[in-house]
A = this chain, B = another copy of it.
């Protein structure tokens, strides 16, 4: 049992699974000797050798496609994109091949690749280092999209993602990489990939979020509790395929729902959740489902990025609005 940060939990899960399964290999830019620019792969090269921990040339398309090729041979590659803002060159391979290899060959070949990328804003990085475009991957059939928001969930969900026999886009909220520590047992226990996590029970409103925004959402729930509003907080975590059951059960109970995410609003994952709830819980809802999100703008550079990110006050205000109805 060790007190670890989220990024250390990622490292722990990688090391665990590499030790347990020879087919697990890791590749990406600067992940071997340097241990990754966020240190997520630190120590792996020394422990498992260059053959299984591979620094690649600088080419994201190649990283994605090489991982796909490896997977057709039964390896289980975990490919790191240094930042989510650089994943786009790999989109063709992820969309047109990783997501389709099993379907295309009627199950003859498959693609058990985990595509890891740190994502989201709030660390005052340069342009393109603060994106949250999980929606692009959630729209692609054949992909799983998984986003942990605590060290424990990072450990358990990453293990599950590596063991899963299909491709997973695993997005790590870099703002939370070192924000908190949690005691995580290195017991090899995976978490389910098809269930949202209810972090806090409540009866007046359902707050749905994921990634780094979970922090503000939980804070908002605290603030609301002081006002006498009981908020249920759900971490979606397994963004796609989406566990609508857990969300609908909660809304059936509370009758009100606020969705919080850092990504742009337009055609974001919040839209899918809101649309699904508004359709399936039509008669349960006592107020419209409201989304608190990033703006539909380019993420501002560091100096103004906080103005872009959803704040606790924005969430509280949205809840007050739906409660007033």
Contacts and interface: CB of A to CB of B under 8 A. Distances in A.
Interface of A: 61, 85-86, 88-89, 91-92, 95-96, 99-100, 103-104, 127-128, 133, 135-136, 138-142, 240-242, 263-264, 266-272, 274-276, 278-280, 282, 285, 287-291, 295-298
Nearest to A290: B279
Contacts of A285: 282
A127 B97 CA distance: 11
A291 B271 CA distance: 13
A86 to B, nearest CB: 8
Contact of A296 (B141, B274, B290): B141
A290 B268 CA distance: 18
A59 to B, nearest CB: 11
Contacts of A297: 103, 141-142
Nearest to A93: B88
Contacts of A278: 274-275, 278-279, 288-289
Contacts of A99: 298
Nearest to A295: B141
B85 A88 contact: no
5 contacts: A86-B92, A100-B127, A133-B139, A141-B266, A242-B266
Contacts of A276: 271
A266 to B, nearest CB: 6
Q: Which 6 A-B pairs have the closest CB atoms?
A: A278-B278, A274-B275, A88-B92, A282-B288, A271-B271, A279-B288
A10 B40 CA distance: 50
Contact of A100 (B95, B133, B280, B298): B298
A303 to B, nearest CB: 13
Nearest to A279: B288
A6 B210 CA distance: 43
B298 A135 contact: no
B298 A142 contact: yes
A264 B136 CA distance: 12
Given A100-B298, A275-B289, A279-B290, 10 more contacts: A86-B92, A89-B91, A100-B127, A141-B264, A141-B266, A141-B295, A267-B268, A271-B276, A278-B289, A282-B288
